[in-house]
A and B are shown apart, each in its own frame.
Chain A
Amino acid sequence: MTEPLLKVENLRIELTTRAGVTPVIDNLSFELGHGENISFVGESGCGKSMTALSIMGLLPEGVGRIASGSIQFDGEELTTASTERLREIRGNEISMIFQEPMTSLNPVYTVGEQIAEVLRAHQGLSKKAAWDMAAELLDAVRIPNAKGRVGDYPFQMSGGQRQRVMIAMALACKPKILIADEPTTALDVTVQAQIFDLLRDLRRDTGTSIIMITHDMGAVAEMAERMIVMYAGRNAEIGLVDQIIDHPRHPYTKGLISCVPHIVANLTEERHDLTEVPGIVPSLQEFGKNRCLFASRCNLRTDECLRERPPAREFENGQKADCWHAEEL
């Protein structure tokens, strides 16, 4: 078996808040293979973005820290790597696209300059070469008339185009891993479809592995091979996307799939009420307690759930769910 590209083991990230130290990521393990697309799913406040930031070495300084566990990238341990080494890796081997294409570009530099900066810093290209390369990258992300648009400022572009610029920037150094944090949440559906197509093509052409963070099960089903459902900083369920959608083994996953009205092939007159997942994600003070954190919103709750944190149950098909009642589902 080949070594996975990224291996995260028993990761625990602690945040220091006024109320004390809380684990926002608690014992999370997963692997990412070469050229694979894995998705993190969950509501806001479940620790999806924190995981991504920890891989990038971008946890908020002085507030968040990796308490235990390991992150291995291509055999190299990232949790103990020096700041200099992390800076080399960031943008070069692992890069990230953020949610808001409106605010993550610098408004006072042209998009060409912002892309060229990455190339000059990481690949030591000359000013001229980096600029030409920037134009090529814009063309690669299908911005029409790329040569003419490298000199544009972000405000001259539409939301979809700005997200393309972000993708061009992230792909400038041909990274091995691309982390996309809700890449299309702020965009219209037709633009979202264009961005997904672009990401799919780029992955096919460059073999980049993609970690996609989202809350949209539909997007996961279209884009990813495997998914990790996160709840309150913990792994709820992990496995192949098709398997999980066909048969979720965690009540939270089940809720996430059935609480959204999906467009189906043949619409009929009947409309059932949507399945509700009552309540909301617990507050940070609840994190880290030795019990099932989903119990308060779960209709399968028993005493067991409140007494002890459920262990991961593995099923024959490789699906793993952290639930006391996984077999019953």
Chain B
Amino acid sequence: MSETPLLKVENLTVRFAVKRGGSFGKKHFLYAVDDVSFEVAKGKTLAIVGESGSGKTTAALAVARLVDAHAGEVDLGGHEILHLEGEDLRQARRKVQFIFQDPYSSLNPRQRAEDVVREPLLSLTDTPKDEQQKIVDDLFAHVGLRPEQKRLFPHQFSGGQRQRIGIARALATQPELIICDEPVSALDVAVQAQILNLLRRLQTEYGLTFLFISHDLGVVQHMCDSIAVMYMGKIVEHADRLSLFNNPLHPYTAALLSAVPTVDKTLREKSRRILIPGDPPDPVNLPKGCRFANRCPVAQDQCREIEPDLKTVKGGHKIACHLVDDTAVSPL
């Protein structure tokens, strides 16, 4: 990548202690995010996709310092933020904001809409009061809410409008990075389009960088410049938008793509569905070898023995699979 990345995550690991009966005093750990590295250039969008339990949200939470990382580095605009404390952390939080999945539970029901939007200004910045009001008014206009709606409570808004309030709140401190955690999956289809268009418009207006968490590949395809696919806490494939969608290399990515129901008849006839049977392995007792091997249609003996590393092949495509070599040809 030619541009300097705004966000650079290296070897990020997040683990949770879990209770498992039996042996005394022995702690088991669940590695929700296991040695994950990625970077996002300024003004661009990186999507992290994967199924539930793949660790995509945990990775994002760790970047925002909302869960503690066990190891690794998160570099934001040239500053390491994982080890910040106190006032330094408060300053850093200003630069990273979050848009949550569920607009019904992520707004305080007892705060008026304008207070919801103002709250990050109060807690993270020292903006004078009259300036705060101006920022809030501006944001309301920018996200498509009417000024008279400022005094309303969250329950008086529809789902789409609530998500707009959530977006305004995320923009309040003029952040550099916005983490969107499934921002539209709780909304009706027609409203999804409104929010997605709004996010893209705001991105060009403010020059925002998005880290976009989603399981909806259609949305990801529309929103993102590059995509990282996660499976069981690992990134299995990482590439720019066109090479990932037009030439998916990892069998898991291919299966994910083929599983999306589509209205495009030619695509439906062209693509055969790659079924991945069964369920993901137990995250506490991971099998050795590739984590996807037990569901992979083309797994070989080496896949069950040695864990593949994320390697770069032709065209800058990153992939963790033994069966893909430098020529970047799908093993399927």
Binding site for B on A (CB under 8 A): 43-44, 144, 158-161, 188-194, 196-197, 215-219, 221-223, 242, 245, 255-257, 259-269, 271, 273-278, 280-281
Contacts and interface: CB of A to CB of B under 8 A. Distances in A.
* Interface SS, A side: loop
Nearest to B161: A280
A144 B278 contact: yes
Given A255-B190, A262-B264, A190 B256 contact: yes
16 contacts: A221-B262, A221-B265, A255-B190, A259-B189, A259-B193, A261-B221, A262-B218, A263-B221, A263-B267, A265-B264, A265-B267, A267-B221, A273-B200, A274-B193, A276-B190, A280-B160
B23 interface: no
Given A197-B275, A263-B260, 13 more contacts: A159-B52, A190-B51, A190-B259, A192-B259, A193-B258, A222-B261, A262-B263, A267-B242, A268-B242, A274-B193, A276-B193, A277-B193, A281-B188
Contacts of A217: 263
- 4 shortest A-B CB distances, which residue pairs? A261-B222, A218-B261, A259-B193, A193-B259
B263 A245 contact: yes
A218 B265 CA distance: 10
B45 to A, nearest CB: 11
Interface residues of B, number: 46
B217 interface: yes
B193 A196 contact: no
Nearest to B54: A188
A189 B217 contact: yes
B299 interface: no
Interface string B120-131: 000000000000
Contact of B246 (A44, A245, A266, A278): A266
Contacts of A190: 51, 255-256, 259, 276
B279 interface: yes
A189 B259 contact: yes
Q: Which interface residue of B190, B194, B200 has the most chain A CB atoms within 10 A?
A: B190
B196 interface: yes
B273 interface: yes
A189 B215 contact: yes
B39 to A, nearest CB: 22
A235 B150 CA distance: 37
Contact of A189 (B191, B192, B260, B265): B260
Contacts of B197: 273-274, 276
A276 B266 CA distance: 25
Nearest to B261: A218
B234 interface: no
Contacts of A261: 196, 218-219, 221-223
A282 to B, nearest CB: 11
Nearest to B252: A190
B189 A43 contact: yes
B241 interface: yes
A326 B258 CA distance: 34
A274 B218 CA distance: 12
A192 B257 CA distance: 12
Nearest to B273: A193
Contacts of B279: 158, 160-161
